[in-house]
A and B are shown apart, each in its own frame.
Chain A
Amino acid sequence: MSQRNQIKKSKPAQNPAEATQASVATTSSVDLKANLDELLDEIDEVLESNAEDFVKSYIQKGGQ
């Protein structure tokens, strides 16, 4: 555990670009939330209409 904390502390100083990347991801996660409703509308549209039959009939042979 202590080793991990040490790694995390040392990183931002070593790699300022990383902090920028992380904050970009955080921003996009706000967008993700805002888009969820829109996305769910779309999913409601494309989702197989008879979910129960669809799930039952999705059978595969075992592979590797």
Chain B
Amino acid sequence: MREKTEEKNWLLAPSGEPRGYIDSQALTELWFHTGTNCNLSCPFCLEGSKPGDDRIKFITGEDTKPFIHEALEMGVEKFSFTGGEPFVNPHFVEILGYGLEHRPCMVLTNGTEPLRNQFGEVAKLLKQPNPVSFRISLDHPDPELHDASRGKGNFSMALRTLGLLHAEGFHVSIARLMEPKEDVDAVDAGYAKYLSEAGLPSDITIIKFPDFQTPGSIPEVPQVTEHCMRTYTTEETRHAYMCNFSRMIVKKNGRCGVYACTLVDDDDDYDLADTLRESFEVRIRFKHHRCYSCFAFGSNCSEGT
């Protein structure tokens, strides 16, 4: 394994102790960032996405194919897509269709107009040889709280889209925000009546995420050192970190880079390489504040295939 950089801030925490790290094992999931353009402007968006935003550019079919092929050679089991809002990317349905020719796929979407206006095209993807699942954000089980950030009527539309996708035959799940010290089961139970209304199964998967802060934030969080990793993690828990088994392709300034995971695309130290194989030769240090979220809360954007 080699270090991405020999810079002190990459290698050492402010205390001078070596930062914790992951030496990745094998690629099982490959993520694509479809671009930071989004139809919504949620104030808490960890990507800072909004209409017209192009911090991360629209990825195209031609951009994705070399990485899909390389990932298949490396034994990848699944492709996943996030944004921005993937369905704002004009190439997205084509990209997803190509991914589904090879492996199961998952899409993170807000379930609003960009998806709804293309539902007819999306429904055709059921004929592809692999299944696609959709994870839709319902931030809170209280529609008013959800709509306060995402716009009036948004909860209702996202819920309805979940129901339509499920009725069409797609696998669906929910992403929600997680408050510190919340009663997890009680919050999850708050969705029950809405699930029933939309014809969704009561045991639908609900993925919880802490507040990751907006891009470029530098919140004060505890530093994850090698000592922390030795003391508080095991080989098994280390294997669960996304940077151990996945990568994300991000397009900035006309170039696609291989990033360590879905949460660190605002820090170019995590732009590991031009190819997936090369990225697996790089030791991933826990420098980003979101690395602490993974360490402390077990955050994981992935989901079973």
Q: Do A and B come from one complex?
A: no
